[in-house]
Amino acid sequence: MLKLQKLTKTYKTGDQALKAVDLDVPSGQVLALIGPSGAGKSTLIRCINRLVEPTSGSVMLGDVDLTKLGAAALRRERRRMGMIFQEYALVERLTVMENVLSGRLGYVGFWRSLTRRYPQSDVDEAFRLLDRVGLVHMADKRADELSGGQRQRVGICRALIQNPALLLVDEPTASLDPKTSRQIMRLICELCAERGLAAIINIHDVALAQMFVQRVIGLRFGEIVYDGSPNGLTPDK
């Protein structure tokens, strides 16, 4: 479903963050991307939806090469990729419900919609998602009233309401305590299984990856140094 071919990123500073990375992700597969700080994990995730522009190589989503798209086509394809961030990236002064709905409409469309009514079907879907993650009673609370774990649940709902084919998840638990981290990882992996969603989860906590995913990609100095079962990992990898 997703295929990276010789994906390379060299930043203007000369940092070679990715060196000709090849990676195949079948539909429905959840994989964890691990590796030390600076290995290129974040760059890899961001090159897929072109928040970072790859230097060379291709990113095939189905039979579309995302690296070749113009702005309008890229916006369309990005709707098929949900993103979940380390720092949640919620709009603090909007409610939980509004934050979830912003995923449905896109940011610009969302602000336009404030002057209109939201389609009832979107509101219904937002309630269903919030119910699934245990936050339906918080729908009218402002985002800045939530705990970190609750915020990340909202971030998950906002990504899922796009009905994406692929989730890009960048350090979802880096700002959370260990217990909440496990809950959030479990939730992401369960939701992917329920929806047949593929996901790439950038996570520096190897133990968490081992608990929840079947395939781990180890990245080091911009190259894949491990691809396989989490059980095959040694502590220094």
| 15-44 burial code (b ≥16 CB/10 A, e <16) | ebbbbebebebeeebbbbbbbeeebbbbbb
DSSP string, 203-236: -S-HHHHHHH-SEEEEEETTEEEEEE-GGG--TT
Minimum Å distance from CB 37 to ligand ADP? Answer: 4
Instruction: Provide the minimum distance between the beta carbon of 107 and ligand ADP in the complex, in angstroms, as a whole number.
Output: 19
Residue position matching structure tokens 């919609």? 113
CB of 43 to ligand ADP, least distance (A): 3
Query: Does the protein bind ligand ADP through residue 41 (CB under 6 A)?
Result: yes
* Angstrom distance (rounded) from CA 26 to CA 169: 17
Site for ligand ADP in 11-40 (CB under 6 A): 11, 13, 15, 17, 35, 37-40
CB nearer to ligand ADP: give 130 or 219: 219
162 binding ligand ADP? (CB under 6 A):
no
Task: Identify which of residues 37 and 121 has a Cβ nearer to ligand ADP in the complex.
Answer: 37
When the beta carbons of 42 and 49 are compared against ligand ADP, the nearer one is 42
Q: Binding residues for ligand ADP, per CB under 6 A?
A: 11, 13, 15, 17, 35, 37-43
